[in-house]
Structure 1
Amino acid sequence: MRVLILEDQAIVGLEVEAIVRARLPGATVTLAATIREGRDVARGTVDLALLDIDVADGKTYELASDLDRAGARVIFVSGSTRADTPQGLTHLAFISKPFSHFEIVRAIEEACAEAPRARRTEDL
């Protein structure tokens, strides 16, 4: 499993990474701090993405949409409000900051329990 964590606050990114690695020990986990870095990672297969919404180079909604269409499971982990999420992305999991370890684990478990999805990476 390949996991993308896009978070521009290093300490938060490292915390999310530690939780993911503990829950998915065989996963390949990549941290990104910008949308551009996230897009570079997404050029390959991404199975699970945990995305902050507001990062240094903008909002991650377009990347989230692209990843979702490509078949990745997307979880927003953000200080933004869920009400601000564009209508086409409201089906994606959303964890508010500050978050608990349990919330991240539960979202990962729910994402991993879902049936596999078709992959389309040409749009990324």
Structure 2
Amino acid sequence: MADIRVLIVEDDPFIAMDIESAVADQLGDDVELIVVGSVAEARRMTAKQLACALLDIDVVGGKTFDVASVLQEIGTPFAFVSGSAPQEVPAALRNVRFLRKPFSTREVAAFVKSAVGALDLKAMPG
């Protein structure tokens, strides 16, 4: 696995560290973790090639729903990791994985592993 980039959008530094730790434990040195705390930074990061993303809903600058829509359009797997209620998510994004805070780091790691595994399968010659 090379060039695996995981976007983490989380404005609480302690929660961001928990998520980073869970992903790093799962993927080790093969992953580049991009941690941002605002909607504006997250928007900029969607231009990068990402393996997957973990989005808090309420961050600096508003909600991440437009970022989620862009990721959905370009086919980047993502999950919401939020204390918000799942029913607050717009209808077009309700089929997305939702990890409720307080989350289990095992759940976060499992999502990332499955997203990266799906990428590896797509990259294999068929």
TM-score, with length taken from structure 2:
0.86
Question: Take 1:46 and 1:108, find their aligned partners in 2: how far apart are those partners?
Answer: 11
| 1:106 equivalenced with 2:110 (yes/no) | yes
In proportion to residue count, which structure has more helix? 2
Question: Take 1:21 and 1:32, find their aligned partners in 2: how far apart are those partners?
Answer: 16
Give runs of aligned pairs for residues 15-34 of structure 1, distance below 5 A: 15-25=18-28, 26-34=30-38
Q: Which runs of 5+ in 2 are unaligned?
A: none
Q: Which runs of 5+ in 1 are unaligned?
A: 118-124
8 Å CA contact 2:51–2:115 kept in 1: the answer is: no
Q: Alignment identity in percent?
A: 33
Question: Which residue of structure 2 aligns with residue 121 of structure 1?
Answer: none
Question: Take 1:39 and 1:78, find their aligned partners in 2: how far apart are those partners?
Answer: 18
Question: Which residue of structure 1 aligns with residue 53 of structure 2?
Answer: 49
Q: Which protein is bigger by CA-based radius of gyration? A: 2
Question: Take 1:57 and 1:82, find their aligned partners in 2: how far apart are those partners?
Answer: 20
Q: List structure 1 runs of 4+ shifted beyond 2 angstroms.
A: 109-117
Question: Which residue of structure 2 aligns with residue 36 of structure 1?
Answer: 40
Match of 1:6, as an amino acid?
A: V
| 1:7 equivalenced with 2:10 (yes/no) | yes
Match of 1:10, as an amino acid?
A: P
